[in-house]
Amino acid sequence: MKYKSTVSVEGLTSKDLRRMIDCGTLEPGDRLVFEGQTWKVLKKDEKSILIFRAQGSTVCMALDERDEYDYDTSAVREYLHSDKFLATIPEEIRENAGESLPELLSVTEVTELMPRQIDRIVCDECGDTIWWPTRSASRGYASHTWYVNSSGNVYYYSAHGAYRFAPACGLTIHRNIE
């Protein structure tokens, strides 16, 4: 996905961002920069946009401590919905997301919305590339999940070991269209 434009929202209010979303100003391929974080617009339809945090702080934890990876009840999903993680999302985005909560992307979403390997690369707070998990379990091993490595390739690996990774997530923001 080639970047069409970068929108720096420093100084923009939540209402300004809401207007951009509702008017359809943002397009897939656009980047939003909030408080040093880059968010990519991955998908847009008549009802919502899907944005993806392409950089941020890292965490060291097991995605799931059990021998079977189930994203719906996993430790990583619990973490993404925690006040601690939500506090890392800029206020302008949180306010416009409403009831939507951040979620990991599925391996299908990753490969369809980011078909080029380079578009999947995520950086940590120091600018170093780092791996990030998807919400999709591996078919071969119940305790494995698909992830995107630091070079943008999609692989699978154990979900119950503690690793340092970037919780790169998607967030759906619904458009207010009348």
Residue 131 lies in a domain: yes
Model confidence, pTM: 0.82
Q: Which residue range is the domain that position 108 belongs to? A: 6-174
**How many whole angstroms separate alpha carbon 71 and alpha carbon 38?**
25
Tens of pLDDT, residue by residue, the chain (178 residues):
455 667 666 667 788 888 888 888 888 888 888 777 788 889 998 888 999 987 766 888 888 877 777 889 888 899 899 998 898 888 888 888 888 999 989 889 999 999 999 888 888 777 888 888 888 887 767 677 888 888 888 887 777 777 777 778 888 888 886 5
Residue 84 lies in a domain: yes
Residue 1 lies in a domain: no
Count of the separate structural domains present in the chain: 1
Per-residue 3-state assignment (H helix, E strand, C coil) for the chain: CCCCCEEECCCCCHHHHHHHHHCCCCCCCCEEEECCEEEEEEEECCCEEEEEECECCCEEEECCCCCCCCHHHCHHHHHHCCHHHHCCCCHHHHHHHCCCCCECCCHHHHHHHCCCHHHHCEECCCCCEECEEEEEECCCCCCEEEEECCCCCEEEEECCCEEEECCCCEEEEECCCC
Residue 59 lies in a domain: yes
Residue 25 lies in a domain: yes
